[in-house]
Structure formats: structure tokens, C-alpha cells
Amino acid sequence: MDGATRPWVLHVDLDQFIAAVEVLRRPELAGLPVIVGGRGDPTERAVVSTASYEARAFGVGSGMPLRVAARKVPDAVLLPVDAPAYTAASEQVMAVLRAHEGAVVEVLGWDEAFVGVTTDDPEGVARALQAAVLVATRLHCSVGIGDTKVRAKIATEFGKPRGVFRLTAGNWFEVMAERPTRALWGVGAKVSSRLAKHGITTVRELADADVDLLVAEFGPRIGTWYADLGHGRGSATVDPTPWVPRGHSREHTYQQDLTAPEEIEAALRTLVTEVLADVVAEGRPVVRLTLKVRYKPFFTKTFSRTLKAPTTDADLLERESLALVVRREEGRAVRLLGLRFEMTMPGPDGT
């Protein structure tokens, strides 16, 4: 169907977005290894939010402890996270995408979105979007073109940086067959390890796998989804409906480990106040709580409970949160606490 007018899914992904925003604000940083994370202080406990390509060349990646990143690149420029600046830049980019005639935009995050278009020249549209984003924001992006969201999302990786790549049913196995399962969107280290136990290490092997085996390993819904993923199958519908958060969460990494029960409880009360403020602004009550506890050195456990009735009562939510924290391992130092409140979801009419 090449050359025919038909629907396409484009995945627009901003290149090294956070680092690029920082370089726009500080042009003198262009070409230097830039690492953004925490408060920009490697002596504090924090992780890398993003790194410029120059820093990535030294093995720095998102989620890496900031102190480790600083050791890998001693002359790196370390900067604190500035979420408002990235939000503002992201909103500019999404406005440009929405302005393209006939485009339907589904925002995935600060730095990426699916764009649905009907055209006989998807590469031409991709290049036009890249040019429009660059003119309006001075930010570069890569674009993956696909006949499903899965293929478009994966295609972007082959286009980076600043490029365009098309991945469809026609060239899926030519491009993907011998690649490891981790090259697939949604397959991480744990899932790839579980697949490997069944002799499934490549995309082709996943595509050829017995669906019953995958269902037995992952359950009927996820197992069937992984079977489709091996073929790059999936939805091609781009949904412009604004994303509605299911919940709000906050977490703090403490510079000094928390050991005494009273300091752990005090820290949790602070989290309750912070998360509840986000929930109240949302206007929907809480139905479920999840507490994350990260012990020293780096072992994490989560504890959850569903409330008897939806609420925004601060005292009740504090009591319920404290009831969760007593389930932690006593006597073990805590380096991080995270708290998530899940809310009721709006109905079809938005209420």
C-alpha cells in the first residue's frame, strides 16, 4: 500500500529532551557532558533524570545514582531538575503537533506523543513536524512511523537522533527478528529473564512461542499481549483524550537514613500532607494507598490497602498510611519513602 493515502501512526520523541532544554537556557553547555538529576549535587542521594549524548557516551543513563554518574564523567556539568521549565517546553511542542492539519495527538509524557495522520507520504509529514518543532522551540526530535503504536514507538529508536524510520508489518521481522526481547516496548529485564527461562530470547522466538505457554507464565491478558508484541501487533488508534491521572504520589530519598520509628512516622506524615494537597487539587477522593519503603542499601518493598470508602479526610489518610508503615521490617534503616494515593476515576460525563 506504499504511496496510497491511509492512516499512519507517528511517534514523536524529543531528543535528550531535558538536557536539550537546559542547553537552550545555557548555550555554553552545547557539546559538553550534561547530567541532570536531583539538586545537581552528587554528594546527595539522587538519580540521573537525563544525560546529554556526550554524557551517555561514558555509560551514564537515566535512573543511575548521581554519584556514580559523576564518577564516570568527572568533568560533567551537573544540573538540578527544573520540572516547570520542562513542562513549559513540552506544552510548546505539543501545541505545534496539534497545529498540523488533520493531526490527532496523544500525549505520552513530557517528551513524546503519538500523532495520527492520514497521508500518502508519512515521511514527508514526519519531516514537516520535525521542522515545525525546531522552528517553534529550537528542539530536535526523532519520528517513528508505523501501522500500529507498537511499531511506531519502536521505530523511533532506529531514527535517533533527529531521524525518521518506518517500521510496519512488511519489514517487522527483517528489522526485529534477531533482536533481543528487551528491544520491544514493554519488555524489561524481569520479563526478558522470565521469557529466557522458556528459551525465548529474540523477537522471532517470542513471535513463534506457544500462546498457551505465555498465558501460563503471565496470565491470559498479559500473555496474549506478549504474543502479539512479538509480531508488533496492537492498536493503531491515536486517542486525543486528555490523560487523567489515576493517582498522585510523592517520594523522598533521605540524605541520612531514617532509623527511629518516630522519625519514620514524621517523614510519612509529611508525605501524606504533600500527596493529599495534589489530590485535593484534582477534586477526586482517595480509594487506595500504596507505600514504598526502600531500605539500606537498595532493597524496596511496597505495601497497599484499599479504603472502606472514598475520602479526602486528612486524619483518616494519615492513620491508614501509618498502619501501612508498621508493616516494614523493624530495625532496618530506611533511605526512601514513597506514598501514592489512587483516586476515583471520572465517569463518562467527566464527573
Active site residues: 112
Alpha-carbon distances, residue 109 vs 61, 76, 114, 141, 234 (angstroms): 18, 26, 10, 14, 20
Could you count the other beta carbons within 10 Å of the beta carbon of residue 84? Answer: 7
Q: Do 158 and 165 contact (CB within 8 A), yes or no? A: yes
Residue listed under C-alpha cell 555509560: 59
Nearest C-alpha neighbor of 17 from the set 42, 49, 47, 40 = 49
Distance CA 115, CA 168 (A): 16
Nearest C-alpha neighbor of 283 from the set 249, 320, 259, 310 = 310
Nearest C-alpha neighbor of 204 from the set 167, 229, 185, 186 = 229
Distance CA 316, CA 318 (A): 5
Q: Indicate the pairing of strand 34-36 with strand 77-79.
A: parallel
